[in-house]
Amino acid sequence: MLESLFLAQLLVFIYYLVVNCYYSLSCTVAFLDIRGQLAVASRQHIRNLVSGVYYRPISILVPAYNEEATIVTSIHFSLALQYPEFELVVVNDGSTDRTLEVLRDEFRLVQIEKPIKIVLKHEHIRGIYVSLDYPQLLVVDKDNGGKADALNAGINASQYPLVCSVDADSLLEEDSLMRAAKLFVEDREVVASGGIIRVLNGCTVVNGKVTEVRAPSRLIECLQSVEYLRGFLVGRTSWNWTNSILIISGAFGIFRKDILFAIGGYRKTVGEDMDLVIRMHRHCLDRKMPCKVVFVPDPVCWTQVPGDYRSLLQQRNRWHRGLIDSLWHSRGMLLNPKYGAVGLLAFPYFVVAEALGPLIEFFGYLSFVILFFLGLLNRDFALLFLFLAVIWGMFLNIGALLLDNLIYRRYRGVSDLLKIAGCGLLECLGYRQLLVVERLFATFMVFQKHWGKPAREEIKNVQQESL
């Protein structure tokens, strides 16, 4: 028994050492990568690139299920995006609230007969609508089938070679499409790209634009701001260097439609975003097709995060189940040299650090407590454990915040910076452990397919007349 406890402590020690070393190295890599991208991607360069003949039209897909509180504001935001040629395909996935009714009233929708070639499978389409005021807006009403099913219907109904998936509770900055889509023009090997996801809660929105970035007022939302900064700005940027990104966020991602058709579109799973990217890698590498999946840190998608613990835990439970399901579905890629850095680097990391991480951490904490009460806990080892599990994590959070503020200066108020920094210190004390327990539960619920929908709040958009 005691030998097992000491072995568990050793495994946890190695786990934290490897994971924290990875994130520490990633901070340096992220700084160099972001600085290099900013040096060659000026705003004027992007505008020139997409305003001429060298751009590719985009179909923006917005799956919506019971989104009456946010859908109208979100669609207005999307229609105002800066891009030479795009269409907006909203898919009402069998909503039981007034989502379709509010869309009809706000955008003056009329039903039409539009033939759609069914390349990807999805549930029955009830009707197709166009707007009398916005010719680029198309609304597809269908039976409920889940987010992946709704996206497949949107892909079938779309007309352009690139598709961009955006959540109904999210807001893209007006030039985000240009910044993320330019990669498909500059490099024909790019098959998918995604931008950074930032927390909308607490920000000021005027005429569809985030005009003032503020730290959220609620502690739970502020803690998530820290997570998003570390996970996107540091974690995903570092995978760019090895061309082995396994996930493009479902809240904002752009994909080549021909590749989506080739792999059969989205698979019905609660982790459809990660599953799609892994399968795109597998499809291209199986056929020895050059492919790149790219994370770009400057296109920003602002999204609402859960404001209550029940919604947060439901979300993280679903994320973890989706992660495990996606990895298991493509398990043949693990440590397979055929898949290069994806199979030899990214896949093992996500299996050990992400999928098995909660199990390792939980038993590490549990053995720590048992040894303490048995009076067998070595003081030096306890201090080392505290440093690896808590203090180093705090420094990593502060490092991500400093990197963000040094390059982008999103949080301009000193009080907001201090609040986010404080949450960076608190995130490792209680909040992280709570999520570890929930993800541990999710590990044994992996075959459950229920989605779990977090509570939505209306996006407060201040309308001001321009001078």
Q: Average of pLDDT values for 124-133? A: 97
Place of tokens 């007006």: 174
Is the pLDDT score of 258 beyond 60?
A: yes
Confidence of residue 7 (pLDDT cuts 50, 70, 90): confident
Look up the pTM and report it.
0.91
* Lowest pLDDT segment from 19-33, 74-88, 308-322: 19-33
How far, CA to CA in Å, does 345 sit from each of 183, 184, 289, 337? 24, 25, 19, 10
Tell me which long-range contacts 15-18 makes (C-beta under 8 A, separation of at least 24): 15/352, 15/353, 15/357, 15/360, 15/361, 15/364, 16/364, 16/385, 16/388, 16/389, 16/392, 17/388, 18/353
What pLDDT does residue 466 have? 46
* pLDDT tens digits for range 283-306: 999 999 999 999 888 778 999 899
Phi-psi map region of 3: left, alpha, beta (phi>0 left; psi -120 to 50 alpha) = alpha
Residue 327, pLDDT > 50, answer: yes
- 3-state class (DSSP) for residue 164: strand
Q: What is the pLDDT of residue 44?
A: 47
In which band, very low, low, confident or very high, does the pLDDT at 256 lie, cut at 50, 70 and 90? very high
DSSP H or E segment with residue 381? helix 379-386
> Rounded to whole angstroms, how far apart are CA atoms 406 and 233?
12
User: Angle, nearest 10°, between helix axes 414-426 and 392-407?
Assistant: 150
pLDDT higher for 310 or 18?
Answer: 310
Helix axes 392-407, 2-40, angle to 10 degrees: 10
Altogether, the residues listed in the chain come to a count of 467
The predicted-structure confidence for 176-215, as pLDDT tens digits, reads as follows 998 899 889 889 999 999 988 999 998 888 876 788 889 9
Measured CA angle at 28 (ends 22, 34), to 5 deg: 120
Give the per-residue pLDDT at 39: 53
Tell me what pLDDT residue 453 has: 63
Q: Report how far residue 263's alpha carbon sits from residue 284's, in angstroms, rounded to the nearest whole number.
A: 10
Place of tokens 């996801």: 197
pLDDT: which is higher, 412 or 50: 412
**Is 50 exceeded by the pLDDT of residue 467?**
no
Percent of the chain with pLDDT over 90: 53
Half-sphere exposure of 88 (CA within 13 A, CB side): 27
The per-residue pLDDT for range 378-409, each reduced to its tens digit, is: 778 778 878 877 888 888 888 888 878 777 77
Taking the C-alpha atoms of residue 78 and residue 80, their distance in angstroms, rounded to an integer, is: 5
- 3-class state of residue 313 by DSSP: helix
Q: According to the model, what pLDDT value does residue 234 have? A: 77
Residue 377 pLDDT > 50: yes
Token couple for 208: 């569809």
The residue ranges of every structural domain in the chain are 1-40+199-244+285-290+308-454
- The residues with which 61 forms a beta bridge, in sequence order, are 89, 165
Other CB atoms within 10 A of residue 44 CB: 7
Among 53-62, 68-77, 419-428, 443-452, the range scoring the smallest mean pLDDT is 443-452
Does residue 296 contact residue 179 with C-beta atoms inside 8 Å?
A: yes
105 compared with 240, residue with greater pLDDT: 105
pLDDT category of residue 140 using cuts at 50, 70 and 90: very high
